[in-house]
A and B are shown apart, each in its own frame.
Chain A
Amino acid sequence: AAGGAGQEKQLAPTLLSFFIYNPKLGPKEGEEEKKILFYHPNEVEKNEKIRNVGLCEAIVQFTRTFSPTKPAKSLHTQKNRQFFHEPEENFWMVMVVRNPIIEKHKDGKPVYEYQEEELLDKVYSSVLQQCYSMYKLFNGTFLKAMEDGGVKGLKERLEKFFHRYLQTLHLQSCDLLDVFCGISFFPLDKMTYLKIQSFINRMEESLNIVKYTAFLYNDQLIWSGLEQDDMRILYKYLTTSLFPRHMEPELAGRDSPIRAEMPGNLQHYGRFLTGPLNLNDPETKCRFPKIFVNTDDTYEELHLIVYKAMSAAVCFMIDASIPPTLEFCRKLDSIVGPQLTVLASDICEQYNINKRISGAEKEPQFKFIYFNHMNLAEKSTIHMRKTPSVSLASVHPDLMKILGDINSDFSRVDEDEEIIVKAMSDYWVVGKKSDQRELYVILNQKNVNLIEVNEEVKKLCATQFNNIFFLD
């Protein structure tokens, strides 16, 4: 909706407030404040906080009478939209997003036009769910924190985590990919994959306290010893937070990681992305982030060691009851470093060979997003490389919105479906759903008809997805 008049200004959606409460904590009148576990922005006056929480409670309570198992997930108003999420019993998370605004000037005065229908429920509900998942990855469940440290402990954890985390939410650029929260897998030939397997197994054997290992190359996953759901969120953390933070120094060529100075140490490019910065400094701290996995059954607390050599990154996860010592880190560095360096260059070489063979070097003519619910595999030629904060779509937001709408349609039925939309200015958007897979294609061709569009998509499927069962 690019307006012709220069005076129009688009204001992106922004986070108005974000709060977490548990109605059981302050059931009595006058004790409402006790329900609130976290409130952003904190500056909001106490009574307003209580009022907002109370309103949410009421809406959820009210809608529950119509749909006891699925209470309201969002509330649409003219100015904003509220999203509700109950990740654990009685723990509610609420995110309030202001609708995008078009600022017009009428008679020299600014006039704000709220765009009520712009935001996609599914996208922002997913963002809210991810907030919880990310919190849980680093803090465990709300309940566990409360059992361990009482309400006070939980509040401290929430404050510490969300204070920072909310700043990294880029609500203006959320789209379909946030719904999928998928994993990009690195394409690899069987032999190199087996070599990586062998490497991981041998490392787990040598560093016998390692419980799980994950292996990534070029920010894409190759192996996960963690279960799918845990990997999904860890992957998000690694690719949107940890790796981008370390990319800049890498590019700048600072802290050149070749370390030949240690006698007897093989030259290698390995370094810790979490944990000690300098292994030669006896005072260095060997502190690693703690993560929580399998919270539904075994509830494991782990140290997350991320170690990287060139483009290959390995996550070693060890039981939190065993604090990694400097000695352990040095051992890890000396064992993993040289081997990972060799492996990384092997992968790179093999990848280039495969690329040449398959001729995949050519720029894809199609803009598409693919997602498989079964293995969470995600592939997008629409998005640019992920930056520290966001992944930017290279197409117009309106097209992205159509994708989101098609996705919402798909999620309402179980059957395989295909939707073709003629969008503005020679754009066609095609959505296909086959079993657990979804494919969205954006075509931009002048004067094509429906049949031709269909043919184009068939062509794409034949070249890109010929090795899977994807119905035409």
Chain B
Amino acid sequence: MSRDPPGPAEEEAPGAAGGGGGGGGGGGGGGSGGEGRARPAGEGGGCYLALCARPVHFEKANPVNCVFFDEANKQVFAVRSGGATGVVVKGLEDRNPISFRMEDKGEVKCIKFSLGNKILAVQRTLKSVDFLNFIPDSPQVEYTQECKTKNANILGFCWTSSTEIVFITDQGIEFYQVLPEKRSLKLLKNQSINVNWYMYCPESSVILLSTTVLGNVLQPFYFKSGTMAKLSKFEIELPAAPKSSKLSLSERDIAMATIYGQLYVLYLRHHSRTSNSTGAEVVLYHLPREGSCKKTHILKLNRTGKFALNVVDNLVVVHHQDTETSVIFDIKLRGEFDGSTTIHQFVLPPRSIQPYQIPVAGPASVTSQAPVPCKLYSSSWIVFQPDIIISASEGYLWSLQVKLEPVVNLLLDKGKLMDFLLQRKECKMVILSVCSQMLSEPERGSLSVIATVFDKLNHEYKKYLEAEQSYTMVVETGLSRSNPLLKRPVRTQAVIDQSDMYTHVLSVFTEKKEAPHKFTIAVLMEYIRSLNQFQIAVQHYLYELVIKTLVQHNLFYMLHQFLQYHVLSDSKPLACLLLSLESIYPPAHQLSLDMLKRLSTANDEIVEVLLSKHQVLAALRFIRGIGGHDSISARKFLDAAKQAEDDMLFYTIFRFFEQRNQRLRGNPSFTPGEHCEEHVTFFKQVFGEQALMKPTTF
């Protein structure tokens, strides 16, 4: 499978595919052109890889129909009779196929659109490439560019932008700019070098050339807006010294892919009998934009035979045809480091790609047959980077996907599972379900496992918060203008914040009440501990959840101790919540007042609390202590004093305000705005008119 059918260039795909049913066989009404909707079959036993549900269906290769695949645009070209009877272009992303006709000027060797489908390039001979504009209102006549190097043969070409193209010849590379209006090309740069084969990674705009006799010296070039940069070349270590001087490194064993934002060259090193390796392995060479290429990782396959590589969601997927299974590797997971390279074992046990059913094409009214199971790991499969699988014999193009749900049951070490999941794109719901699962029977995890998981989640959460914080700081200080590269940090799904945990895991878990309350509280405290450890401010609703749980089980003394050590951080809402507990737990009153005092912004609340308890004198002493007694409402205090039904108290308070009036206004009587008439009346009633303070006159 995969690169097994050796072609001149990797794009030349199924047309040359030897295996499979070639042009013959079933597929009946495939010619209808309608898209056969393929649906994946039911859940396989822990299959963590699947073909996408909506593949691209194309007319399969046959003597009159040649099929090509362009990795840059991820498009399949079906060229009938050299284009005379039609070219159909379909892509994974663009759902509307492009159809056109072109003159049959001979066998097509390679055909690709520039980025954005602006210009079509077709190679029909070894010496030149033809161009056709697809830009509206531009000349629609083909134009041709011959390669500049004399006696060179064009191995292929790659578009590096919508108007820039690179020819790769056996003697070097030629970098052109296409001028569609002028229907001509301008040579930007060229470089002479002997080329055995080449490989292009559109994601990173890097072309890799195989040079030297053995072919194991690789020369990368990097292209960006009209410039071409030669990166440092490097040598792939061959498993054993080759006996003869012939090409020893095949392009079939090399792939290029971006993993975790870094470009890697992946080399599939086959098992050699001379070396004492236990099986084939994939060697990863890190290719930085600057600096030299280094061997960094070795992925142990522990088996031999035919392999193919994909990279999906930053995972290296290795398909093994003999066993019809695949394994995945995650270079971010811990491996065995030998000082220069890290050796990785596969993350999960080998599994087959999830069974896939090809629906019988044609109008549903005509065919009512059951869908046909798709032959997986077929020898007619061709694999492209990063995640493309093409079945030449059936005319399908899939993208490969990683399913996270089955992983949960395959990776029993929860810490490792989290490390794995946190690096995946669509991880949030799976992670949350793992969290829920580990908190409830029958798969309840131990507290130390739970702690590990929380720590891993919060580590990721904190990283994001920090990035966000430093971004806001730069923006606020106005430094952003001087730093155009500054981008707002992306919030990936791996950022599981408190509200996610609360909504999906913790509140559900505490409500279920199936676990012993000790465990419930331990889990909540563990989460709070973890947040604190990463210096993340804990949200109020988590404290509320803790308090609710403790109150439900009458664990007031526990609550008291937590508050005593400020484990539940001070806040007004928390203080209010405590106040509401006073009737069932009297000390909550003291705890609440202490908290309000510490907040230092809740003086009004303190006064209210004291007044509500008829502690009028205490309230007055407090407000005087903080120097706020000149602005308080006399009526409020007198009301409270009257409600306390303590005449002496009322007298004291009344006198205090008379004195205040005297001090502030030179007269002890209340102003009408203070609305204290009823209190004055009451005072006279109880203590007599003469008890009223006399205005001091000088």
Contact = CB atoms under 8 A, between A and B. Distances in A.
| Majority-rule SS of B interface residues | helix
A149 B625 CA distance: 61
Interface string B606-636: 1000000000011001100100000000000
Nearest to A203: B447
A194 interface: yes
A201 B447 contact: yes
Contacts of B594: 467-469
Interface residues of B, number: 36
B542 to A, nearest CB: 13
Interface string A380-398: 0000000000000000000
B622 A198 contact: no
A202 interface: yes
Given A228-B557, A467-B598, A435 B593 contact: yes
B675 interface: no
A185 B522 contact: no
B597 interface: yes
Nearest to B563: A375
A197 B528 CA distance: 11
B11 interface: no
A193 B525 CA distance: 11
A436 B625 CA distance: 20
A194 B561 contact: no
Contact of B587 (A188, A224, A375, A468): A375
A201 B565 contact: no
Contacts of B597: 467-469
A377 B590 CA distance: 13
A471 B564 contact: no
A374 B557 contact: no
Interface in A150-192: 185, 188, 190-191
B522 A201 contact: yes
Given A197-B525, A471-B622, A374 B587 contact: yes
B567 A193 contact: yes
Contacts of A259: none
Given A198-B451, A374-B590, A471-B618, A190 B625 contact: no
Interface string B561-575: 100111100000000
B587 to A, nearest CB: 4
Interface string B429-465: 0000000000000000011100100000000000000
B621 A224 contact: no
A224 B518 CA distance: 14
A194 B530 CA distance: 9
Given A201-B522, A436-B590, A375 B564 contact: yes
A469 B596 contact: yes
A205 interface: yes
B593 A201 contact: no
Interface in A424-467: 435-437, 467
A409 to B, nearest CB: 18
A227 B532 contact: no
Nearest to A434: B618
B529 interface: yes
B532 A190 contact: yes
A391 B625 CA distance: 36
Nearest to B560: A375
Given A193-B567, A469-B596, A204 B448 contact: no
Contacts of B606: 469
A272 B273 CA distance: 61
Contact of A194 (B446, B532, B593, B622): B532
B622 to A, nearest CB: 6
B405 interface: no
B561 A190 contact: no
Contact of B522 (A205, A228, A436): A205
Contacts of B589: 435
A218 to B, nearest CB: 16
A471 B621 CA distance: 7
A223 B606 CA distance: 29
Contact of A193 (B519, B558, B565, B591): B565
Given A375-B587, A469-B596, A472-B621, A202 B448 contact: yes
Contacts of A224: 557, 561
B478 to A, nearest CB: 34
B447 A416 contact: no
* Interface range, A side: 20 to 34
A441 B534 CA distance: 41
Interface in A265-280: none
A255 to B, nearest CB: 31
B532 A191 contact: yes
B509 to A, nearest CB: 15
A194 B625 contact: no
B565 A188 contact: yes
A183 to B, nearest CB: 11
A221 to B, nearest CB: 9
A228 B117 CA distance: 77
Given A201-B522, A471-B621, A435 B590 contact: yes
B529 A198 contact: yes
Contacts of A205: 446-447, 519, 522
Contact of A185 (B446, B532, B564, B625): B564
Nearest to B529: A194
B35 interface: no
Contacts of A228: 557
B260 to A, nearest CB: 32
Contact of B525 (A201, A225, A227, A416): A201
Given A198-B525, A198-B526, A202-B447, A469 B567 contact: no
A278 B596 CA distance: 52
B643 interface: no
B192 interface: no
B443 to A, nearest CB: 16
A195 interface: yes
Contact of A195 (B446, B447, B529, B591): B529
Nearest to A185: B564
Nearest to B526: A198
A377 B565 CA distance: 12
A190 B566 contact: yes
B454 to A, nearest CB: 10
Contact of B533 (A191, A197, A206, A435): A191
B262 to A, nearest CB: 36
Contact of A204 (B518, B529, B596): B518
B447 A194 contact: no
Contacts of B625: 471-472
A437 to B, nearest CB: 8
A197 B522 CA distance: 8
A468 B519 CA distance: 31
B526 A416 contact: no
Nearest to A200: B522
Interface in A300-314: none
Interface in B540-566: 557-558, 560-561, 564-566
B441 to A, nearest CB: 14
Nearest to A377: B564
A372 B560 CA distance: 13
Contacts of B587: 374-375, 436
Tell me which of A185, A193, A377, A436 has the highest count of chain B C-beta atoms within 10 A of its own C-beta.
A193
Nearest to A436: B590
A109 B137 CA distance: 136
6 contacts: A185-B564, A190-B532, A191-B533, A374-B591, A416-B618, A435-B590
Listed from nearest, the 9 A-B pairs whose CB atoms lie closest are: A201-B522, A194-B529, A469-B593, A374-B587, A469-B597, A193-B565, A468-B594, A202-B447, A469-B594
Given A206-B446, A469-B596, A471-B625, 15 more contacts: A185-B564, A188-B565, A194-B532, A198-B451, A204-B518, A205-B447, A205-B522, A223-B561, A374-B587, A375-B560, A377-B564, A436-B587, A467-B597, A468-B597, A469-B590
Interface of A: 185, 188, 190-191, 193-195, 197-198, 201-202, 204-206, 223-225, 227-228, 372, 374-375, 377, 416, 435-437, 467-469, 471-472
